[in-house]
Amino acid sequence: MIRRLLLVLALSLFGSKLAMAATTSVVITHLNLRAGPSTQFPVVTVLPAGGRVLTNGCLADYSWCDVSFGTYRGWVAARYIQVVYQGNPVIITPAVAPRLSVAVVQFSQAYWTRYYSAYPWYGRWGVYAPYYAPPPARATVNRSGSCANGSCSGTATVTGPAGYSATRTRSGSCADGICEGTRTTTGPAGYSATRTRSCNRGDQSCSVTRTGPRGGSYSGTRTFNR
């Protein structure tokens, strides 16, 4: 008896996790459900305005989403479906998608075969496939920083789709009417450029020194008016 109860409990938890994998969305207008993420793919069915669909995931740029509607499965443009976020209906965007646990998914021939083998246009994969262009990979940005005792510093690292990265660090401090700041940028090849600025509130002047990645430098002083 105990084993049966544990089995039922395990199945219930597993089912709950599956249900949480999809997000309920509302269609805001009559909308074609298509067999792929492009208007060039054939129409599977027409979704009614106000109809509820399960959003199984979206492309990496959140332009198209993979949804379920009854027994139908297909793709819709993300701007035509809305989800409830913080009590308001919103379109799925890169800003809100992580908070809604919307998965990033891909379209492939395996998807086509799984859901459309019974449709008359199934055998034309080679005709429709070129209309799908995977969204471009995005660069990632990691930032960190801290301030203490009148001094602040920060670092931002940008990593491109190919894995190359560039880093920019900043630091600055102010004391007795004099503020100094340094910015250093290091490119993917390891070369660095530095700019140092020092401003004096007393004589209202700033001096700037720049050093390029090849060692060349420039320095100058200018005055400013408040």
Q: What is the pLDDT along the chain (226 residues), one digit of tens a residue?
A: 333 323 222 323 333 333 335 688 999 999 999 999 999 999 999 999 999 999 999 998 899 999 999 999 999 999 999 988 888 888 988 888 878 888 889 999 999 999 999 999 999 999 999 998 876 666 677 788 888 877 888 888 877 655 667 788 888 888 887 888 888 888 777 778 888 888 887 777 888 888 877 666 666 666 655 4
pLDDT tens across 114-165, in order? 999 999 999 999 999 999 887 666 667 778 888 887 788 888 887 765 566 7
Amino acid in position 174: C
Contact 65, 76 (CB under 8 A): yes
User: What are the residues facing 165 on neighbouring strands?
Assistant: 159
C-alpha 58/C-alpha 98 separation (Å) is 11
Contact 90, 83 (CB under 8 A): yes
C-alpha 105/C-alpha 60 separation (Å) is 7
- The DSSP H or E segment spanning 168 is strand 165-175
